[in-house]
């Protein structure tokens, strides 16, 4: 089989001040025409570097150290800029991750399409326009003749991504590199886009390199798959074989770490990182240990932590409207209703999963509960007492300690200018849980050990840690306040699957040890399946369905829930 694109023993290096960093370490890859080749791996695996190397768009100072990239019989390595320029966008196209930024917001769709077509083909503007219309119609945009003169912001995310695909197609390329084409999209849109990519690939006989971190996407879309790790090819072959019967340990572990929709596991198997340094246990605070942390955290009896059917938190008829009350200078400002008529009960010791697409109001719900967002109607009750909302909640209100939150983005939820010690010690000092500096230090070290970090970490700053480690620190910070109720707002959506598995394991363990009640917010149904006892589905600020997890995943009662479930890429073979 003659390959359309064949990468042979490719090495890409990035010189840094710490020496040469080898981003691609002898990568081999073959893509045939009419085939979708999935490139999967965790962040830092070098997936995008492969794409950039093929496009000749390696970011400075990266360079191809050795190896060949053969495209249709021609070696692209060392090709000069002019030749590359003729190739790029003509015979090789690219689909980017974020349709918000890959289209120029100041030009109409028509202008951008026609410009690209005429760049590579000698056709008149009106011919180019007709071509553009035909192409966009093919990508499934309705009513395109009217909409082609619109600006990108007038399209929804999914529609924009279709335009981007249309742009990539408009020079009839032989190869398309799609770098995380659906990561920024909701599951329902993702499914349609993937279907479109597959159809185009078959009909036009285009070779597609599909770069993604999402194994579910690969499973549903790709013909063949290559698993990358740290710039090396771990395993390559037919999708069914590689994902269904993985041969290499890493692939097996990766597959085990992916949360499954079809069944609930007690724990994930942890992937031991190959380049994780041996944990430095030499530095320790005297007498500090994970068991000391557990003991201290349990020393004060929290009645909210007993598992029973008393509601811990009751949210009734909750409305949140943004921008209400402020009359705009330009006409009426009706405000945007983020949440309307929300009713939720959270029992003691229960994990309640909240699921919904982006913009459904999941995070607003969390913010309303912690008092960051004012309510426009409704009330909240916590442990049988009124819970004041927004500004009405006193700074010293007791709920401020017992309700703690773990945020989505571990890169912005920790103060980069504070040591880990002062980050974790802050709640202890702030809530006056201990005044003894020696004890505080011991506690910080112990809690770090409890969340699976070396005690030495307390001396460092957040930027010295990876995303997963930062999220552990964030969990530790929430934990030392001795909370009864933990709100986790997409705690793993910024993390790789193997790290996600570790954090989910950690949360499960902590939940069991301390009997925490958790409100677990996620857009990922599979994660919810693994974590939650009950599920609340939210759509456009309204509760669609509330039911037990097992019941929900086996037989969802509402059409919207059924649609969500069927559109989530699954790993069932």
Where do the H-state alpha helices sit in 56-149? Answer: 81-87, 109-120, 125-138, 144-147
Here the tokens at position 183 are 């990561």
At 523 the three-state DSSP class reads coil
Q: Which of 403, 420, 447, 453 binds another protein (CB under 8 A)?
A: 403
The rounded distance, in Å, linking the Cα atoms of 231 and 41 is 9
Comparison of 96 and 407: residue with beta carbon closer to another protein: 407
- Only one of the segments 1-9, 41-49, 151-159, 426-434 lies at the binding site for another protein (rule: CB under 8 A); that segment is 426-434
Number of residues that bind another protein (CB under 8 A): 30
How near is the Cβ of 413 to another protein at its closest, in Å? 4
Our CB check for another protein shows the closer of 371 and 467 to be: 371
* Ordered DSSP codes for 239-259: HHHHHHS--SHHHHHHHHHSP
Instruction: Figure out which of the listed residues 98, 409, 439, 550 binds another protein, where binding follows CB under 8 A.
Output: 409
Q: Is 301 in the site for another protein (CB under 8 A)?
A: no
As measured in angstroms, the least distance from the Cβ of 228 to another protein is 27
Interacting span for another protein (CB under 8 A) from 47-55, 321-329, 410-418, 510-518: 410-418
For residue 166, the surrounding DSSP H or E stretch is: helix 157-169
Choose between 295 and 464: whose C-beta lies nearer to another protein. Answer: 464
Among 415, 513, 557, 559, the residue binding another protein under the rule CB under 8 A is 415
Within 152-181, the residues that bind another protein by CB under 8 A are none
First to last CA, the chain: 27
Which one among 93, 413, 469, 568 touches another protein, defined by CB under 8 A? 413
Residue 371 interacts with another protein (CB under 8 A): yes or no:
yes
78: tokens are: 């060392």
Q: Which two tokens stand for residue 415?
A: 């103060």
Shorter beta-carbon distance to another protein: residue 402 or 526: 402
Quick one: 36 exposed, middle or buried, by C-beta within 10 A (0-12, 13-18, 19+)?
buried
Question: CA nearest 469: which of 295, 253, 292, 277?
Answer: 277
| Bridge pairing between strands 542-548 and 534-539 | antiparallel
C-alpha distance from residue 519 to each of 149, 383, 488, 522 (Å): 45, 15, 6, 10
Q: State in angstroms the smallest separation of the CB of 414 from another protein.
A: 6
Dihedral sign from CA coordinates of 196, 202, 203, 204: positive
Q: Which of 1, 2, 17, 59 binds another protein (CB under 8 A)?
A: 17
Site string for another protein, 378-397 (x = CB under 8 A): ---------------xxxxx
Tell whether residue 213 is a contact of another protein (CB under 8 A): no
Which of positions 427-486 make contact with another protein (CB under 8 A)?
427, 430-431, 477, 481
The footprint of another protein (CB under 8 A) covers 17-18, 370-372, 393-397, 400-401, 403-405, 407-409, 412-418, 427, 430-431, 477, 481
């Amino acid at each position: 089989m003659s390959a359309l694109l064949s990468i042979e023993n490719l090495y890409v290096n990035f010189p840094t001040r710490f020496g040469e960093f080898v981003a691609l370490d002898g990568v081999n890859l073959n893509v045939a025409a009419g085939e979708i080749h999935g490139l999967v791996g965790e962040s830092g695996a070098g997936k995008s570097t492969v794409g950039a190397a093929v496009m000749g768009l390696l970011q400075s100072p990266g360079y191809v150290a050795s190896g060949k990239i053969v495209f249709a019989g021609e070696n692209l390595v060392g090709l000069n800029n002019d030749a590359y320029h003729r190739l790029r966008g003509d015979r090789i196209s690219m689909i980017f991750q974020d349709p918000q930024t890959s289209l120029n917001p100041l030009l109409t769709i028509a202008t951008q399409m026609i410009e690209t077509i005429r760049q590579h083909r000698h056709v008149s503007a009106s011919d180019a326009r007709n071509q553009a219309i035909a192409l966009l119609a093919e990508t499934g945009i309705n009513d395109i003749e009217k909409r082609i003169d619109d600006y990108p912001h007038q399209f929804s995310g999914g529609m924009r991504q279709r335009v981007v695909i249309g742009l990539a197609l408009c020079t009839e390329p032989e190869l398309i590199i799609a770098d995380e084409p659906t990561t920024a999209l909701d599951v329902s849109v993702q499914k349609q886009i993937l279907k479109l990519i597959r159809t185009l690939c078959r009909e036009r006989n285009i070779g597609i390199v599909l770069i993604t971190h999402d194994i579910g996407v690969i499973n549903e879309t790709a013909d063949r798959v290559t698993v990358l790790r740290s710039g090396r090819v771990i395993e390559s072959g037919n999708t069914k074989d590689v994902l269904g019967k993985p041969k290499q340990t890493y692939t097996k572990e990766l597959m085990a770490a992916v949360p499954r929709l079809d069944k609930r596991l007690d724990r994930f198997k942890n992937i031991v990182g190959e380049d994780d340094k041996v944990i430095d246990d030499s530095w320790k605070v005297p007498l500090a240990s994970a068991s000391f942390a557990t003991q201290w955290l349990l020393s004060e009896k929290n009645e909210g932590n007993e598992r029973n059917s008393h509601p811990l938190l009751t949210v009734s008829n909750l409305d949140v409207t943004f921008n209400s009350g402020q009359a705009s200078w330009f006409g009426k400002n009706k405000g945007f209703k983020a949440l309307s008529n929300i009713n939720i009960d959270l029992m003691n010791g229960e994990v309640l999963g909240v699921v919904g697409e982006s913009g459904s109001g999941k995070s607003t719900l969390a913010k309303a509960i912690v008092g960051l967002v004012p309510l426009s109607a409704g009330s909240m009750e916590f442990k049988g007492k009124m819970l004041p909302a927004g500004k009405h909640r006193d700074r010293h209100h007791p709920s401020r300690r017992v309700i703690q939150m773990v945020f989505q983005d571990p890169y912005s939820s920790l103060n980069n200018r504070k040591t880990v010690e002062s980050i974790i010690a802050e709640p202890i000092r702030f809530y006056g849980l201990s005044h003894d500096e020696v004890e505080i230090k011991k506690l910080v070290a112990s809690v770090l050990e409890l969340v699976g970090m070396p005690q030495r970490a307390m001396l460092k700053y957040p930027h010295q840690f990876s995303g997963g480690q930062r999220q552990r620190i964030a969990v530790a910070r929430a934990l030392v306040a001795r909370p009864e109720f933990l709100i986790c707002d997409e705690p793993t959506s910024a993390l790789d699957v193997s790290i996600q598995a570790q954090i989910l394991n950690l949360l499960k363990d902590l939940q069991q040890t301390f009997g925490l009640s958790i409100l677990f917010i996620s857009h990922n149904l599979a994660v919810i399946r693994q974590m939650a006892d009950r599920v609340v589905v939210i759509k456009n600020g309204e509760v669609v369905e509330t039911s037990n997890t097992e019941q929900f995943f086996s037989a969802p009662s509402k059409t919207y829930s059924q649609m969500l479930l069927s559109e989530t890429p699954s790993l069932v073979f």
